[in-house]
Structure 1
Amino acid sequence: MDSIIVNGGSALNGQIPIAGAKNACLTLMPATLLSEEPLTLTNAPRLSDIKTMTALLASLGAEVQSLQDGQVIAMSSHGEINPVADYEIVRKMRASNLVLGPLLARMGHAVVSLPGGCAIGARPMDLHIDALTALGAEIELKDGYLHANAPKGLKGAVYEFPLVSVGATENALMAATLAKGTTVLKNAAREPEIGDLAKCLRSMGAQIDDDGKGTLTIEGVDRLHGATHPVVTDRIELGTYMLAPAIAGGEVELLGGRRDLLDAFCVKLEEAGIDVTETDKGLKVSRMNGRIRAVDVVTEPFPGFPTDLQAQMMALLCTAEGKSVLEERIFENRFMHAPELTRMGADIEVHGGTATVTGVERLKGAPVMATDLRASVSLILAGLAAEGETVVSRVYHLDRGYEHVVGKLRGVGASIERIKG
């Protein structure tokens, strides 16, 4: 297996371009199943998860082409559609479950395997099933597959999510675009990726109203047409690279960055003593002198602090002056990076969903092992601040969510290389 070697101690200076959002692109791609006409996505990220979704859509009968070095994805579902999403593909990635709503809306039936993905909690399908059932679907679990049927089509309904769920909101939103009548989704997720999906669906002819407070109203239409849509900036990649100069020191401009995508995160950086400035090209982050201050963090649905930046933020707080408390409210079992950071000299105590980090003056390089996607990059960030050499193994997780991470960090002065295993 490949590993990444980081030699810490170098301040970072320069620019890092931010790619299109992985989580948005993986949501937008299944929307091609809603129409017989072509859907083209621009500003697409070049990641292994995108290849997995491409393979899944192809297995369902969609035509998917990667153009312009992978930054354009051209799709068409004009042919015969196979409504069965097989376990061998779905098990590789949790976002595969997002074909359920579109298949059900277009075909009236679907058979979708229960999904896989990073081991960061159960993340059950209950909310997806309940929302689609409210729209008239009949769904049964057999032998690890969800068998969904709506032989007379889906019908509009009012449904309130008992818990905010990004994936369930996306599945229900796509399904509702072709349902008969009006659908009102209450307590819907408000993440930028939801807004990006709604924008794309509107460009395909969907009738969607978003009150900006968690209620989506969808007037079903008979059919959707083709469209071309640019994928929104990846706010998690943005936040990750904002932390690089915060940890290592220096000044880096994140090209394409937008504060509105990460305001709660930016506020925490500023509380810690990091400068965040909006520029004509994006966001500039700088840390010039001295240790940062400890801050407390609670992960919450958007617009709160993102769970997908918790591991990276913990890496920063390992060298803060004082004691920080991080509370994880989205996923259980998401502190698996803590023992690895401890191997680098961090002082971390984990009790259930809370981690207490007492800052140390300096981390020390060590061999560490990545346990999931965000943990992978948190260890790389820690390596930027560590004394000596850090070797991060099992970095295959990294390829699911970050394109050219070594090149991007090396471009601003980091001493980092990837070794083939």
Structure 2
Amino acid sequence: MNTLVEDAKNHGSAVGLPSDKVTIRGGKPLRGRIELKGAKNLVTKAMVAAILGDTPSVLKNVPNISDVRVVRGLLEVHGVVVEEGVEEGELVLDPKNVESAHFADIDAHAGSSRIPILFCGPLLHRLGEAFIPDLGGCRIGDRPIDYHLEVLRNFGAKVEKLPSGIRMSAPNGLKGAKVSLPYPSVGATEQVLLTAVRADGITELAGAAIEPEIMDLINILQKMGAIITVETDRVIRIEGVDKLDGYTHRALFDRNEAASWAAAALATDGDIFVGGAQQAEMLTFLNVFRKVGGAFEIAEDGIRFYHPGGELKPVIIETDVHPGFMTDWQQPLVVALTKAKGVSIVHETVYEQRFGFVDALVEMGASIEVHKECLGGRPCRFGQRNFKHSAVIQGPSQLHGADIEVPDLRGGFSHLIAALTAEGTSTVSNVGIIARGYENFITKLELLGADFVLEG
């Protein structure tokens, strides 16, 4: 069985998805209301942060996704007691008995996830050692962990690469460090935050990511007793403290899922109210959504996204770190852009191999060409590295049904949207991968009136 298929089945079964394959009859607008929970990119890191506390933490608004199950399993093999709270989507995490775990146990629970690298700082503080296996993740580009390891070395960690993975130790404790990121990496910023809060002395992080999920993680750490200052020009200063307590926190909504359902509404001529979505974190997306020809209404409890009628308009998009247009937003929106009259350009500057998903769209009738050049914006770090990272979309195109294999999380949801808007019937396989970041997406499709059946 190939790795992607195996991952899909594992992800799907982890959240009760009864099948790896769905058959969709397209052409029906999605209409109705769905509800969001917390952001995948915040919740999993907040769960790791609980290791740093001397008392239990309570995390609310946790989605039922397979990435959460992965982190829960990793916490439990390290001795953290994780229990359901009093309300739906609430977890209580008690780190009182944190202990070392065997490589095999970590590897078995991690699967394709890259989250174990973020356990290292907290475990070094609690135990003086940490182990991580080889790391996986969605195959959308280079996500090396070397920089994570270098950051940990800066704090005083000793890193030993073994055939089975990586062992780290901190015989003299971790010390504050001066770190400068060559690119505002979210993962590297999280690594510094989770390590620096208990390190001895002051840490200065230059070139930090400042995504809303990063800021919410900082909120959590501050609740625990950390001293963190976010300065101008992407500089974060952390004053290490001797002790942290647990936290009680309601996670920020998942803006990537909100944007995905918004794109689905636009592509299918639909009307979807996304409960829990908030304007401030969606500002950049909302501007582009309006430029394309979509409409939205802001309410206290969410945002209504809908196609108001008329032709969609082409746009030029360049993905970027926050506050720019997120890379996770472009893939679902590309499907809607196949219906826009004219030429749209999407320049991907965050992940160099994120356009693999367009092959299926072309097979379904889309007119999309992918280029190595930096199109539609400033030259980026991929421009001279021979990666196809700019897409030219000519529309409008009428998509037709096809057999599709999901390649990664966001690309997979984009394939669902394409199948929903296409003429005829499509079969989408490996849909378990989508369960990594989209809670109960099959149930949500039912609520929105999609015409589909799960294959046995």
Task: Report the TM-score when normalising by structure 2.
Answer: 0.88
d(CA) in 2 for partners of 1:159, 1:100: 17
Output aligned runs, 1:90-105, within 5 Å.
90-105=110-125
- d(CA) in 1 for partners of 2:86 and 2:113? 25
SS of aligned partner of 1:364: coil
Matched to 2:117, the amino acid is N
> Any residues of structure 2 matched to 1:257-268 within 5 Å, and which?
257-268=277-288
Q: 1:294 offset after TM fit, Å?
A: 1.1
Q: Which residue of 1 aligns with 2:323?
A: 303
Shift of 1:69: 7.7
In structure 2, which of residues 234, 254, 272 is the aligned counterpart of residue 252 of structure 1? 272
Deviation per residue, 1:229-275 (Å, 9 max, x gap): 11110011111111121111132221111122222222111111111
Partners of 1:183 and 1:257 in 2: CA distance: 34
Alignment of 1:176-195 (within 5 A): 176-195=196-215
How far 1:196 sits from its partner (Å)? 1.1
Q: How many residues are aligned here?
A: 420
Identity %: 35
Alpha-carbon distance in 2 for matches of 1:31, 1:80 = 13
1:55, 1:341 → 2: CA distance?
A: 36
Q: Name the one with the larger strand percent.
A: 1
Compute the displacement of 1:280 (Å).
Answer: 2.0
State whether structure 2 residue 87 is matched by structure 1 residue 73.
no
Shifted more, 119-128 versus 41-50: the winner is 119-128
Q: Gaps (5+ residues) in structure 1?
A: none
Are the counterparts in 1 of residues 51 and 98 from structure 2 also a CA contact under 8 Å?
A: no
Kept in 2, the 8 Å contact 1:52–1:92? The answer is no
Q: 1:235 to 1:211 in 2, by over 3 A?
A: same
Please say if residues 367 and 397 of structure 2, whose CA atoms lie closer than 8 Å, have aligned partners that are also in contact: no
1:373 to partner: Cα distance = 1.0
What residue number does 1:143 align with?
163
Q: 1:368-413 deviations in whole A, cap 9, x for unaligned?
A: 1111111111011112221122211111101111111122132233
Q: Which of 278, 294, 298 is 1:274 aligned to?
A: 294
Choose the corresponding residue for 1:163, options 183, 203, 206: 183
Moved more, 205-214 or 38-47: 205-214
- Partner of residue 396, structure 1: 432
Indicate if the aligned counterparts of 2:264 and 2:332 stay in contact, CA closer than 8 A. Answer: no
> Offset at 1:82?
0.8
Match of 2:394 in 1: 358
Instruction: Please point out which of 204, 215, 237 is paired with 2:224.
Output: 204
Task: Give distance in 2, aligned partners of 1:83 and 1:202.
Answer: 28
Q: CA deviation at 1:52?
A: 0.9
> For 1:71-103, what per-residue CA distance to the aligned partner results, in whole angstroms no more than 9, with x for missing partners?
111111111411655333334211222111211
Contact conserved, 1:36 with 1:79, CA < 8 A, in 2? no
Letter in 1 for 2:287: V
Distance in 1 (CA, whole Å) between partners of 2:209 and 2:102 is: 27
**Residue 50 in structure 1 maps to residue 86 in structure 2:** no
Q: Take 1:368 and 1:164, find their aligned partners in 2: how far apart are those partners?
A: 34
Aligned position for 2:376: none
CA contact (8 A) 1:317 1:359 kept: yes
CA shift digits 1:172-200 (9 cap, x unpaired):
10111101111111111111111111111
Report SS of the residue matched to 2:243: coil
Distance (whole Å) between structure 2 residues aligned to residue 415 and residue 255 of structure 1: 22
1:293 correspondence with 2:313: yes
Q: Contact 1:37–1:78 (CA<8 Å) still a contact in 2?
A: yes
Change beyond 3 A, Cα 1:73–1:301: same
Deviations 1:114-166 (A, max 9, x none): 31111112200122122222222222322252222221211112211111111
Q: Is the 8 A contact 2:332 2:410 kept in 1?
A: yes
* Equivalent in the alignment of 1:4: 22
Among 34, 39, 44, which residue is 2:57 paired with?
A: 39
> Which secondary structure does the structure 2 equivalent of 1:262 belong to?
helix
C-alpha contact 2:98 2:126 (8 A) present in aligned 1: no
Q: What SS does the aligned partner of 1:32 have?
A: helix
In structure 1, what is the equivalent of residue 150 of structure 2? 130
Query: 2-side partners of 1:333 and 1:165: how far apart?
Result: 16
Paired residues of 1:347 and 1:359 also in contact (CA < 8 A): yes
TM-score (ref. length: structure 1): 0.95
Conservation of the 8 A alpha-carbon contact between 2:201 and 2:240? yes
Q: Is the 8 A contact 1:315 1:382 kept in 2?
A: yes
Which residue number in structure 1 is paired with residue 192 of structure 2?
A: 172
**Structure 2 runs not aligned, ≥5 long:** 1-18, 372-387
Q: Which is further off, 325-334 or 104-113?
A: 104-113
Aligned residues of 2:100 and 2:127 also touching (Cα < 8 A): no
Q: Is the 8 A contact 1:345 1:363 kept in 2?
A: yes
Question: Any idea what SS the aligned residue of 1:229 has?
Answer: strand
